[in-house]
Amino acid sequence: MDCVSPPSAARRVRIAACGDVHCREANREAVIESFSVLAGTADLVLIAGDLTSHGTVEEAEILCEAAVRAQAPVFAVLGNHDWQDDAGVAIADRLREAGIGLLERESRVCLVDGVEVGIVGCKGFVGGFAPHHLPDFGEPSLRAVYAETTAEVEALGAGLKEIATCPLRIVLLHYSPTEETLEGEPREIFTFLGSERLAAPILEHNPDLVLHGHAHEGAASGRVGETPIHNVSQPVLGEPFWRTELSVPAHGSIP
């Protein structure tokens, strides 16, 4: 799938986003139908992880079949479910073969009606929020968790630098960078739903939009600084996709 979207009537980019699709045989037809409805009405489709239910390539095939129906560029990140069967690498390869723009600690620029839309995608990871967050201390296994989040944070920052001159800039995550979109979940599990460390590069670079999933019982929206954060987990949405339009600034993003 080429990263070029057909022209729309105005200088606005139409986005359809969701997370936690959890593809499986039982929802195959519903998933395919939900993407078919997007044809001609979305310039970009963004999926915030948990593409599969049990992390199998067979479940990923359902998303591959559905994505082409959208008739628009589709970008995604993996979620925790997509690693459950230790087939994350195979799933990633299959999604890319199908033309889905899978982002793993990387950025891409997509041309929408002549407008460069920069997208940074990474899974994010756990760690929690002050004063209840995991420290870089103790057993090697705990420090490995901290290091994994560090790698995600550094990749997010690097990606945002790479797309700094794009008129529109979007971050796609699975885990949350803010407590605000976790409200509704038990506070005891906030540590496993995201990390405040992901917020630092967002505050520094102020992208236009941040999307995440994972928190099925969380809140729909929040902010990190001036940047809107949207939890697009399908259980939160109550429908297949969250739809929005981003206006293209006349001056672009270069000061």
pLDDT tens profile 87-111: 999 999 999 999 999 999 999 999 9
Confidence of residue 251 (pLDDT cuts 50, 70, 90): low
The one-character DSSP state at 192 is: G
**Across 88-155, where does the E strand assignment appear?**
101-102, 106-112, 115-121, 128-129, 132-133
pLDDT, residue 249, reads: 84
Domains of the chain, by residue range, sit at 4-247
Choose which CATH entry (3.40.50.620, 3.40.50.300, 3.60.21.10, 3.40.109.10) describes domain 4-247: 3.60.21.10
* Distance, CA of 253 to CA of 142 (rounded, Å): 39
pLDDT (average), residues 168-191: 98
- Over 90: is that where the pLDDT of 254 sits? no
* Distance, CA of 80 to CA of 226 (rounded, Å): 28
pLDDT (average), residues 154-166: 98
Whole-angstrom CA distances from 158 to 23, 82, 162, 171 are 31, 24, 6, 12
pLDDT (average), residues 213-223: 98
pLDDT (average), residues 183-209: 98
- Residue-wise pLDDT for 114-124, tens only, equals 999 999 999 99
**What's the gap between Cα 227 and its chain centre?**
15
Which DSSP string do the residues of 16-60 spell out, in sequence order?
A: EEEB---B-GGGHHHHHHHHHTTTTT-SEEEEES--BSS--HHHH
Q: What is the pTM of this model?
A: 0.94
* Distance, CA of 230 to CA of 46 (rounded, Å): 12
pLDDT (average), residues 52-69: 98
